[in-house]
Amino acid sequence: MSFSLMNPIVAVWRVCYIFVQHLIILLYKPPPPTHPEEPRNPYGRVAVIGAGLTGVSSAAHCIAHNFEVVLFEAGPREELGGIWARVNKTSGLQINSHLYRFHPGVLWRNAFPQRDEIVGEITRVWKEYQLEPRTRFDTPVTSVRRVESVSGTSHWLVNDGKEGPFDAIICNVGTCGKPKWLELEGMPNRDANSDGDVFTKTMIHSSELDSESVSEETIKGKKVVVIGSGASGVEAVEAALERGAGEVVMIARTDKWIIPRNIFFDTFLACQPFGREMPLSFIWESFLKHWQYHGVEDLVPEDRGLFQDTPVVNSNFLPHVRSGACTYVRGDPIRLTSSGVRVNVRERGTKPESPGEEETIEADVVVFATGYEKPSIGFLEEDKLFPEGYERPDLYLQNFSTEDWSVLLTNSAYMSAIGTVGHFHIGIYTRILLTLLLDPDARPSSKDMKLWVDVVRFIKRGAKGGALGFFTYAELTIWLVTFHLLRPDRLKWLFFIMCGWGVHAPAPKTTGKSKNKKVGRYLKNKDKVDAAPVEGVKKEEVR
């Protein structure tokens, strides 16, 4: 196809891309409060832990539907956006932004936006929904406990109740915390071997690759060795080449599936409803091998299927390998030396730590693309909320504690999936919680929640990584639909939960007392534990 013909096609595509986003905003964006003091008569009060992408979105949905929120963030204001505020500026979405609409009100400029645009949209939603005065930065959550009130109802207290009682908890600590380092001999500040063979050149984590502490001279023209083959490793290779690295080598302990940044292909993969490797999965894998991996077929994973682990979404890495800009080495890093990295180089199809040939790869810069530590949820009463067999990710709808429906962990139980994190489901899960707060009849019992987990485990028995360790967006949709179908009494909430339609602040009355006197009582007495229960809301007020 000629270049002259491509220009109008690209222009039409961009117009359609923007049009669809505006249509989504028109249909699904919940109205933000017009003043920081709104909502004046909330239906209840929710504590949101973590001011990352999921936390900001969850809090925005709560306040849009007339629930008061307090947003707790352990880090400073600069860390609004969570992991996105800490990654390299070249880090971008692993899926098309149409599949990463963490809130209906976002308006992307690019199909695959990078860090600054993502953090910019998170910040815009945070400000638009009046979350700025409701956010407590530099406030680590150390305890969350349920207490009985004088009136016989129970509420949650965060950090011993400094912010008053809450009706529900949304834990949004995510899956990426502090940068994780691989400890190897020969690293500075570690005991070296007898000959003092220590790597004294530049050694950084992938999250620091484009930070101010790493100058242009540090990377430009140098040989960069990246340890790690996941999304962080692939992005580190891109960042190093963008900064002018003379040569880049990736050391990969395991081969990862790499799928293209193509909205049609990625959507089809996410539409697989079974959430596990199936007999016909080889069709997708063969297609990728001949289309995506042509010329570098040796990099196709031999020991794992496409639907067993989260694939890396990238269209540039394999061309870098094909062109020779990046050298791919399959092996296990043994130690650092004064000249580089000692590696156990293995054949394709072998498992980590299998016998191979040792080789020293010289390096001027070593980048540890070894991911991030999993954040702790130790502030929750884990022995009470997550009994044996029902810990993360084996939760009700993969996000609710099976012992208490008022504890939601959106994206905090996530392990592996295709096309799920960061989409509309953040709002859907939040609205399920709000529905359960508003309608006692819709609430599941602990027995029913455990039964749901047991049934999913039975259906997906034999799935590598566990029944709930990997799922697709189609499977997630099935979960959310059956949440209504298995309990027909919940169908009246269907359009609210799935689309966000309805449940707004009641119209103010010019005379008489507010119908929401009970649920608004905490505004005057928020330091008291016996704030009125959310059950005080009359159903006709939210219909």
Please give the single-letter amino acid code of residue 270: A
Tokens 């249909």 belong to which residue?
27
For residues 43-47, give the mean pLDDT. Answer: 97
pLDDT level of residue 188 (50, 70, 90 thresholds): confident
pLDDT level of residue 91 (50, 70, 90 thresholds): confident
CA distance 34 to 386: 39
For residues 101-123, give the mean pLDDT. Answer: 94
DSSP codes of every residue in 150-219 = TTS-EEEEEGGGTT-EESEEEE---S--SBP----BT-TTS---TT-----SEEEEGGGTTSTTS-HHHH
pLDDT per residue as tens digits for the range 311-336: 998 999 999 999 999 999 999 999 99
Strands 135-136 and 68-72: parallel
pLDDT at 92: 82
Residues 80, 69: contact at Cβ < 8 Å? no
pLDDT at 328: 98
More confident residue, 258 or 210: 258
For residues 178-192, give the mean pLDDT. Answer: 82
Listed range (23-37, 65-79, 391-405, 508-522) with the worst mean pLDDT: 508-522
Decide if pLDDT at 206 tops 90.
yes
Decide if pLDDT at 133 tops 70.
yes
Decide if pLDDT at 395 tops 90.
yes
pLDDT at 262: 85
CA distance 258 to 261: 10
For residues 59-83, give the mean pLDDT. Answer: 97
More confident residue, 89 or 200: 200
Residues 302, 293: contact at Cβ < 8 Å? no
pLDDT at 191: 52
pLDDT level of residue 521 (50, 70, 90 thresholds): very low
Decide if pLDDT at 189 tops 80.
no
**Three-class SS state of 225:** strand
Decide if pLDDT at 532 tops 50.
no
For residues 158-181, give the mean pLDDT. Answer: 94
pLDDT at 86: 87
**Three-class SS state of 24:** helix
Listed range (72-76, 220-224, 227-231, 523-527) with the worst mean pLDDT: 523-527
End-to-end CA, the chain: 54
Tokens of 245: 């690295």
pLDDT level of residue 509 (50, 70, 90 thresholds): low
> Would you give the distance in Å from CA 482 to the centre of its chain?
23
pLDDT at 526: 37
Look up the pTM and report it: 0.88
Decide if pLDDT at 435 tops 90.
yes
CA distance 88 to 104: 26
For residues 251-255, give the mean pLDDT. Answer: 96
Listed range (29-38, 451-460, 512-521) with the worst mean pLDDT: 512-521
Tokens 């000629």 belong to which residue?
2
pLDDT at 77: 97
Decide if pLDDT at 515 tops 50.
no
Tokens of 311: 């694939």
For residues 226-237, give the mean pLDDT. Answer: 94
Decide if pLDDT at 512 tops 50.
no
pLDDT level of residue 410 (50, 70, 90 thresholds): very high
Decide if pLDDT at 135 tops 80.
yes
Q: Strand pairing partners for 330?
A: 252
* 285: region left, alpha or beta (phi > 0 left; psi from -120 to 50 alpha): alpha
For residues 259-283, give the mean pLDDT. Answer: 89
In the DSSP assignment, the letter for residue 368 is: E
CA distance 135 to 128: 13
Tokens 């003379």 belong to which residue?
246
Tokens of 376: 């702790």
For residues 63-69, give the mean pLDDT. Answer: 97
Listed range (88-97, 358-367, 390-399) with the worst mean pLDDT: 88-97
pLDDT at 195: 60
Helix (H) or strand (E) segment spanning residue 357: strand 357-362
Q: Strand pairing partners for 47?
A: 70, 169
CA distance 427 to 60: 9
pLDDT at 518: 38
Average pLDDT, whole number, for the chain?
89
Decide if pLDDT at 522 tops 50.
no
